[in-house]
């Protein structure tokens, strides 16, 4: 089992920045690929970004590409989502997720979510 706890959400004006953090515990963090997803009211859960267990390889959803950056610090068992040039459309609950190495999706482990609200 892997426990995930997100933090760093809040209220920010359009054009501003936030950095989300996801702290992991329970298993060896470096053995897990990590992802960020988000869900806005009345909408389906949306893929935001992920990073391979071995590091280096990252992927982004089209709506955030060029604005968001995912990274990980294995020494701190933490994955980050740096969000720049935020838009009102980015308002959602953001969830951290984990899966073992290169296992097929969907992600198995999920955090409780953190609210991001972008105001105009």
Longest Cα pair distance anywhere in the chain, in angstroms? 41
Digit-coded pLDDT (tens) for 7-39: 999 999 999 999 999 999 876 788 899 999 999
- The phi and psi torsions of 6 (rounded to 5 degrees) equal -90, 155
**Does 104 have pLDDT greater than 90?**
no
Question: With bands split at pLDDT 50, 70 and 90, how would you rate the model's confidence at 105?
Answer: confident
Digit-coded pLDDT (tens) for 26-74: 767 888 999 999 999 999 999 999 999 887 799 999 999 999 999 999 8
Question: With bands split at pLDDT 50, 70 and 90, how would you rate the model's confidence at 2?
Answer: confident
């Amino acid at each position: 089992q892997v426990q995930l706890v997100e933090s760093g959400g809040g209220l920010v004006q359009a054009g501003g920045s936030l950095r989300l953090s996801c702290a992991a515990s329970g298993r060896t963090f470096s053995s897990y690929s990590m992802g960020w997803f988000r869900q806005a009211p009345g909408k389906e859960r949306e893929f935001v970004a992920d990073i391979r267990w071995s590091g280096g390889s990252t992927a982004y959803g089209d709506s955030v590409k060029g604005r968001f950056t995912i990274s990980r610090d294995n020494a701190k068992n933490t994955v980050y989502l740096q969000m720049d040039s935020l838009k009102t459309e980015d308002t959602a609950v953001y969830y951290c997720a984990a899966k073992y190495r290169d296992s097929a999706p969907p992600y198995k482990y999920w955090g409780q979510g953190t609210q991001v609200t972008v105001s105009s």
